[in-house]
Amino acid sequence: MTITRKIVIHSAGGHDRLKLETSPVPSPGPEEVRIDVRAIGVNYADVIVRMGLYASAKEYVGWPITPGFEISGTIGAVGSGVTDLAVGDAVFAVTRFGGYASQVVVERRLVFRLPAVISFEQAAAIPAVYMTAWYALFELAHPRRDARVLVHSAAGGVGGALVQMAKIAGCEVIGVVGTTAKIATAKAAGADHVIDKATQKLWREAERIAPDGYDVILDANGVATLGDSYKHLRRAGKLVVYGFHSMMPKTGGKPNWPKLALDFIRTPRFSPLEMTNSSHSVLASNLSYLFDRNDLLAEGLGQVVTWLEAGTLVPPPVVTYPLADVARAHADIESGKTVGKLVLVP
C-alpha cells in the first residue's frame, strides 16, 4: 500500500472541518516503527482539538492537524535501530496526535505488544483512557485501601477505567452517571454505589452514602461540579481534575463562546490558604503533556497490560465507526449519551 488515508483538520470549527485526505505512506526513522492501523480510539480531547481549544495541539502541532492519541494494528515497517519488534507483530500505541490515519509512524518507546486476550478494537480503546486513569489514581491520588472514591462520568471511557482501578486498589467506589441507561455499565465496571443524576439529586445522594465526605473525587466535568466536588472532600481528601466537559456544547459541534466565557469566570479558583486550613488537595493532569515522561508511560501501560492479561482489568465496551464516519463519532461523543469507548476502523 502506497497511500495513507487520514483525517486532517485545517482550521478550528465544527464537524465539517474533519476532512478525509490521502498522502504517501510515511517511513519510520531509526528508533521508530510504522503501524498499519486496524483501530483508532476516539477521545473527547479530539473534539477539543477540532474546536481549536486544546493547548498542547497548538503548542506541538498547529494547523493542519490530524487528531488521535491511540491506535492498534500490526507493524508494517521498523527503523534501523529497532530490534525487538518485527513486521507483522500485533501492537498498540499512544500517539501525541496523528492517530486518525491508516498508517502511523510512532516512536518505539510508545509501542506495546498487543495482549492476546483483547482485540484490535479493544486495544485502541485502552492507552489514552487507561493511562489517564492510572496516572490520576495511582500517581496523583494514592488512595488507601477502603477509601471512599467518587467517580464522575463513571460509564465513560476514563470513568469506567477509574472505577475498575479503584476496586483493584481496594476502595469503596461511588460512580455518578447522567442517565438511567448507564447504571448497568457503571455497576459492571465494579461500582459499589451508582448515583443517577437523571433521577436523583447528586450531592444529596452523595452525602447520604458518605456523610463524612470522600477521600478522593475524580472529576472531568469542570465548572458544573468542581466546586461541589471540593466541598464534599473529607479531611485529607483529594480532588483530581482531568477535564472540563460541561463547558463544551453537546450539539452543533462548535463552542458556545458566551457560555464558555461565563463558565471560565465561574470555574472555581482554589486558595492555597483555604486548602491548607481544610487539609484538602486539588491535583490535575493532561496526558498530552506527559509524553516526555517515558518512565510514567512505561510503568502505567505496563501495569495495565499485566492487569488485562490476568483478567483483573477488562477493556471498556466499544462501538466502532468507519474512518469516513468520523464526524458522526465526534457528534456522538459530544452528546454525552455514549458509554465506554468509540473506535474508528480505517
Q: Are residues 207 and 78 in the same domain?
A: no
In the block, cell 521498523 appears at 78
Q: What is the pLDDT of residues 115-170, one digit of tens each?
A: 999 999 999 999 999 999 999 999 999 999 999 999 999 999 899 999 999 999 99
The three cell numbers locating residue 8: 486532517
Both 93 and 41 in one domain: the answer is yes
Kindly give the parts of the chain with pLDDT less than 50: none
* pTM of the entire predicted model: 0.92
Residues 6+ apart with CB under 8 A from 237: 213, 214, 215, 216, 217, 279, 280, 281
> Are 137 and 277 part of one and the same domain?
yes
CB contact burial 68-96 (16+ within 10 A = b; e otherwise): bbbbbbbbbbbbeebeebeeebbbbbbbb
Nearest to 71 by CA among 121, 118, 17: 121
Given 272, 287, 302, which residue is the final one in a domain? 287
Q: Checking phi first, is residue 51 left (phi over 0); if not, alpha (psi -120 to 50) or beta? A: alpha
Specify whether 143 is located in the same domain as 199. Answer: yes
Pair 157, 117 in one domain: no
pLDDT for residue 339: 86
Cβ neighbors of 262 (< 8 A, separation 6 or more) are none
Query: What's the pLDDT at 166?
Result: 98
Domain count, the chain: 2
Distance, CA of 176 to CA of 166 (rounded, Å): 14
Per residue in 51-85, pLDDT (tens digit) is 999 999 999 999 999 999 999 999 999 999 999 99
Residue 215 belongs to domain spanning: 129-287
Compute the half-sphere exposure of residue 254: CA atoms within 13 Å on the CB side of its CA: 10
Q: What is the CATH number of the domain that holds 180?
A: 3.40.50.720
Query: From the DSSP assignment, how many helices (H) and strands (E) are in the chain?
Result: 12, 15
Tell whether 320 is covered by a domain. Answer: yes
